[in-house]
Amino acid sequence: MTRPRAASERFVAQLPERLRSRVQVVYSPLLDIRPMEQAVDTTGIRGLIFTSANGVAAAAAQDVRRDLPAYCVGPATTETARQAGWEARMTGETAEELVAKLLKERPDSPLLHLRGEHSRGNIAARLTELGLTVREQPVYRQQLLPLTPEARSAAAGSAPVIAPLFSPRTARQFADLWPGPAPLLVAAMSGPTAEPLENLAIARLRIAKRPTPKKMRKAVKKLVKYAIRLEGAMGAD
């Protein structure tokens, strides 16, 4: 698992127990999340946008106003914001859905998107260009990390390794670090996430049908089934 530890554990916990019993989970986060010290300015802001639980945690650590409505991407981010004290609502499962719904509903603005230092989608700029004023502020950093010794050991073995990758940046880091020669099965969150992997020797690649945790879990399930068949064929040889 390549996401930060808490997010990886949530993802694994939502996989079926029978599937979890068939695999050995190796945690090797490729990003270290660190809050930024710059104070969040909510002067004149009428609502917040959260696209990750990391943004919620960073905002909560700064005690950002809880009387502002929070528009969130995905159930995990929404629930994290609710538990932190915001009146949060899920405004789509993806950033694209959030943009479409906010443009349709036109809530009171300006809104403030609290995001990571490295972010995709240009949510604030796109919404502002289309008439809904949105500001943005990075509230956490995403520092790249190396593979853990446990992950390198798995890569050096003969058993298939399933790598779920959730962003182009972590995919690029993974592609730069993966030593092989273990058979590599990759679940990619999206087409752009798969692009940095083009030079890797991948035994099986599955791209999630939609960039959501639910579709990623489905892709991982299919790869586990493939890995079991692959191990069976290797044992037969």
Residue-by-residue pLDDT tens, the chain, 237 positions: 999 998 899 999 999 999 999 999 999 999 999 999 899 999 999 999 999 999 999 999 999 999 999 999 999 899 999 999 999 999 999 999 999 999 999 999 999 999 999 887 799 999 999 999 999 999 999 999 999 999 999 999 999 999 999 999 999 999 999 998 999 999 999 999 999 999 999 999 999 999 998 999 999 999 999 998 887 766 555
Could you give the CA distance from residue 237 to residue 234 in angstroms, rounded to a whole number? 5
3-state class (DSSP) for residue 42: coil
Interaxial angle between packed helices 213-236 and 5-13, expressed in degrees from 0 to 180 and rounded to the nearest 10: 80
Query: Residue 22 corresponds to which tokens in the numbers above?
Result: 């068939």
Q: Do domains 5-32+145-236 and 43-141 have the same CATH topology?
A: yes
Instruction: Find residue 136's DSSP bridge partners.
Output: 113
Q: Are 49 and 25 in contact (CB under 8 A)?
A: no
Q: Where are the domains of the chain?
A: 5-32+145-236, 43-141
CATH of domain 43-141: 3.40.50.10090
For residue 235, the model assigns a pLDDT of 57
Could you give the CA distance from residue 56 to residue 79 in angstroms, rounded to a whole number? 10
What is the pTM for the complete model shown? Answer: 0.87
For residue 190, the model assigns a pLDDT of 93
Could you give the CA distance from residue 183 to residue 236 in angstroms, rounded to a whole number? 16
| Topology of the domain covering 5-32+145-236 | Rossmann fold (3.40.50)
